[in-house]
């Protein structure tokens, strides 16, 4: 998705045009939300973060100098927020790679789960597990991995976004890639068929422990690219596993709440823009 007449739209938004401002919000919301949900794991935390980040973006539009495209600049604001935000509940309970390894090796059922909701719950396990693995990285490594591997930002853009050098960004990305690749090759049955772990065989333990709630899924019922389901068994690399994760639909209430703030006068966003 492109923002037509980006420069003019930004200028109009800075001058108080609400339609231009809403165009910018809608242009950026998906990337901000998808970065947030992969960084924080929990969709509700990601919704809260997305709203905060979008507010920061629109209240600082006047500082945008055009040294990068708007999306790259928005990544800079988003990653700075995420790296410094208070730890989410999921992060507080996250594992080290060694602890996650122990978790993967336990609670693996010998029998398949064969109830009618098998496919959706197996997908929930896959998305929850692969996203949870990212929490085992440091925040800086996680940002580098998401930007470089998932959002395909190059090292020059990565350096700008993370206030680093291209060399340091490449080093963080390389280290994060190796940690993820090594873990997945050694544990995930989707990546290496010699590994015993299968998403379907983790459903029962997930239901028993409460990590999976069929009535309130965290991931599997919140995506817009249905075709990724058919790709699951064809995954041949760690990079493909993360790149074929769905593009999660941004909750519409995020945009609506920001619009209400603009119209209420209680949050002087437009005043700050002028």
State pLDDT tens for residues 221-267. 775 444 333 333 333 355 555 555 556 666 666 767 766 666 655 44
The three-state secondary structure class of 181 is helix
Sign of CA dihedral 84, 92, 215, 188: positive
- Report the distance separating Cα 17 and Cα 11, nearest Å: 9
Q: How far apart are CA 53 and CA 127, in angstroms?
A: 24
Neighbours of 243 (CB within 10 A): 15
Check pLDDT > 90 for residue 53.
yes
Q: Which residues contact 28 (CB under 8 A, 6 or more apart)?
A: 54, 57, 70, 71, 74
Least confident segment among 18-32, 71-85, 207-221, 225-239: 225-239
Burial of 118 (0-12, 13-18, 19+ CB in 10 A): middle
pLDDT score, position 255: 66
Average pLDDT, the chain: 82
Q: Residue 59: which of 27, 14, 29 has the closest Cα?
A: 14
Question: What percentage of the chain exceeds 70 in pLDDT?
Answer: 78
pLDDT at 113: 86
Q: What is the pLDDT of residue 143?
A: 96
Rg of the chain over CA atoms, in angstroms? 20
Residue of 176, 189, 78, 99 whose CA lies nearest to 134:
176
Q: Check residues 267 and 16 and name the one with the higher pLDDT.
A: 16
Length of the chain in residues, anyone?
Answer: 274
50: tokens are 């997305």
Q: 82, exposed or middle or buried, with CB in 10 Å at 0-12, 13-18, 19+?
A: buried
DSSP 216: S
Indicate if the pLDDT at residue 94 is higher than 90. no
> From residue 24, how far is each of 8, 51, 225 by CA, in Å?
11, 13, 23
> For the whole model, what pTM was predicted?
0.80
| Residue pair 228/244 in contact by the 8 Å Cβ criterion | yes
Task: Name the β-bridge partners of 188.
Answer: 197
Map residue 109 onto helix, strand or coil: coil
Run of H or E including 269: helix 269-273
What digits encode the pLDDT tens for the residues 129-163? 888 899 999 999 999 999 998 899 999 999 999 99
Question: What's the confidence (pLDDT) of residue 242?
Answer: 59
Alpha-carbon distance of 269 to 258, in angstroms, equals: 10
Q: Which long-range contacts (CB under 8 A, 24 or more apart) does 110-118 make?
A: 110/201, 111/201, 112/200, 112/201, 113/200, 113/201, 113/203, 113/204, 117/214, 118/200, 118/203
């Amino acid at each position: 998705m492109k923002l037509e007449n980006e420069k003019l739209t930004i200028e109009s938004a800075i001058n108080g045009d609400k339609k231009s401002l809403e165009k910018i919000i809608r242009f950026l919301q998906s990337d901000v939300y998808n970065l947030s949900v992969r960084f924080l794991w929990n969709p509700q935390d990601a919704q809260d973060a997305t709203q905060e980040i979008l507010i920061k973006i629109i209240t600082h539009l006047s500082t945008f100098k055009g040294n990068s495209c708007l999306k790259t600049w928005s990544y800079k604001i988003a990653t700075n927020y995420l790296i410094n935000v208070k730890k989410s509940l999921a992060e507080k309970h996250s594992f080290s790679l060694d602890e996650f390894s122990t978790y993967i090796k336990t609670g693996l059922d010998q029998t398949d789960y064969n109830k009618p909701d098998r496919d959706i719950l197996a997908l929930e396990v896959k998305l929850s597990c692969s996203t949870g693995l990212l929490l085992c990285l440091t925040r800086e490594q996680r940002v580098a991995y998401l930007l470089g591997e998932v959002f395909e930002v190059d090292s020059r853009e990565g350096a700008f976004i993370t206030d680093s050098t291209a060399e340091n960004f490449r080093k963080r990305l390389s280290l994060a890639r190796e940690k993820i690749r090594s873990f997945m090759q050694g544990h995930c049955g989707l990546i290496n068929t010699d590994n015993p772990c299968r998403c379907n065989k983790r459903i029962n333990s997930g239901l028993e422990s409460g990590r999976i709630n069929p009535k309130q899924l965290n991931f599997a019922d919140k995506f817009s690219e249905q075709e990724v389901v058919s790709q699951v068994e064809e995954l041949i690399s760690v990079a493909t596993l993360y790149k074929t994760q769905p593009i999660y639909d941004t909750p519409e209430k995020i945009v609506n709440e920001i619009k209400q703030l603009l119209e209420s006068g209680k949050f002087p966003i437009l005043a700050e823009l002028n």
